[in-house]
Amino acid sequence: MVLARHCVHLGALTSRNTCAALDSNLLVSGDAGAYINNYDGRNPLGIQPNGQRSQNYFLLIGDWGRADSPGPCQRAVADHMKAYVARQQQQGKKLLFVASVGDNFYWSGVTPGAWEKSWSSLYGTNDPGSPLHQVPWLSVLGNHDLGNDDPYAACADQMQAPLAMVNGQRYGCQQFNADKNPNRPADTRLYWMPDYNYHYEIPEADLEVIAIDTNQVDIEGFGGDSGGAWKMGSVCGGQGNVESFMQRVNQAGQELLRQRAAQGTAKTVLIMQHYPGQCQKDIFLSALRPGREVNVICAYGHDHTQRCDGSDGNGQCNMILTGGGGGCCAGVISRAGFAAISLSDDGGFVSDVQSGDVVVPDGTCYWRRLTLSDYV
Q: What percent of the chain has pLDDT over 70?
A: 88
* The predicted structure's pLDDT at residue 333: 66
Continuous H helices in the chain: 72-90, 114, 121-123, 230-236, 239-263, 281-286
State the pLDDT confidence band at 348, using cuts at 50, 70 and 90.
very high
* The predicted structure's pLDDT at residue 68: 87
Cβ-defined contacts of 307-312 (< 8 Å, 24+): 307/335, 307/353, 307/354, 308/351, 308/353, 308/354, 309/276
Classified as helix, coil or strand, 2 is coil
Least confident window among 8-12, 124-128, 154-158, 280-284 = 8-12
- What distances in angstroms separate CA 110 from CA 144, 176, 178, 204, 273, one per listed residue? 9, 11, 14, 33, 18
Distance, in Å, from the CA atom of 236 to the CA atom of 13, rounded to the nearest integer, reads: 22
Return left, alpha or beta for 328; rule: phi > 0 is left, psi -120 to 50 is alpha, else beta.
beta
* The predicted structure's pLDDT at residue 19: 31
pLDDT of residue 9 exceeding 60: no
DSSP codes, 323-372:
--SS-S-TTT-SS-B-EEEEE-TTS-EEEESSSTTTBPPTTS-------G
Residue-wise pLDDT tens digits, 203-245: 999 999 999 999 999 999 999 976 899 999 899 999 999 999 9
Residue-wise pLDDT tens digits, 101-119: 999 999 999 999 999 999 9
| Burial class, 26, CB count within 10 angstroms (exposed 0-12 / middle 13-18 / buried 19+) | middle
pLDDT of residue 291 exceeding 50: yes
* The predicted structure's pLDDT at residue 225: 79
Average pLDDT over residues 150-160: 97
pLDDT of residue 31 exceeding 50: no
* The predicted structure's pLDDT at residue 363: 74
Contact 311, 349 (CB under 8 A): no
Integer-rounded Cα Rg, in Å, for the chain is: 20
* The predicted structure's pLDDT at residue 334: 72
Query: How many other CB atoms sit within 10 Å of the CB of residue 281?
Result: 16
Give the helix, strand, coil percentages of the chain, each rounded to 5.
25, 20, 50
The angle at the Cα of 238, spanning 237 to 241, to the nearest 5 degrees, equals 80
Query: Which letter does DSSP use for residue 153 in this model?
Result: G
> Please, what is the average pLDDT of the chain?
90
Query: What structural domains does the chain harbor?
Result: 41-375 (3.60.21)
Least confident window among 69-78, 95-104, 136-145, 234-243 = 69-78
Residue-wise pLDDT tens digits, 322-346: 999 999 886 656 789 999 999 999 9
* The predicted structure's pLDDT at residue 12: 23
* The predicted structure's pLDDT at residue 14: 26
* The predicted structure's pLDDT at residue 330: 65
Residue-wise pLDDT tens digits, 180-200: 999 999 999 999 999 999 999
* The predicted structure's pLDDT at residue 113: 96
The angle at the Cα of 325, spanning 69 to 320, to the nearest 5 degrees, equals 160
β-pair partners for 23 = 26
State the pLDDT confidence band at 368, using cuts at 50, 70 and 90.
low
Q: Which of 301, 143, 156, 305 is nearest to 229 (CA)?
A: 143
Higher pLDDT, 63 or 372: 63
State the pLDDT confidence band at 374, using cuts at 50, 70 and 90.
very low
* The predicted structure's pLDDT at residue 369: 59
Q: What percent of the chain has pLDDT over 90?
A: 82
State the pLDDT confidence band at 364, using cuts at 50, 70 and 90.
confident
Continuous H helices in 129-197: none
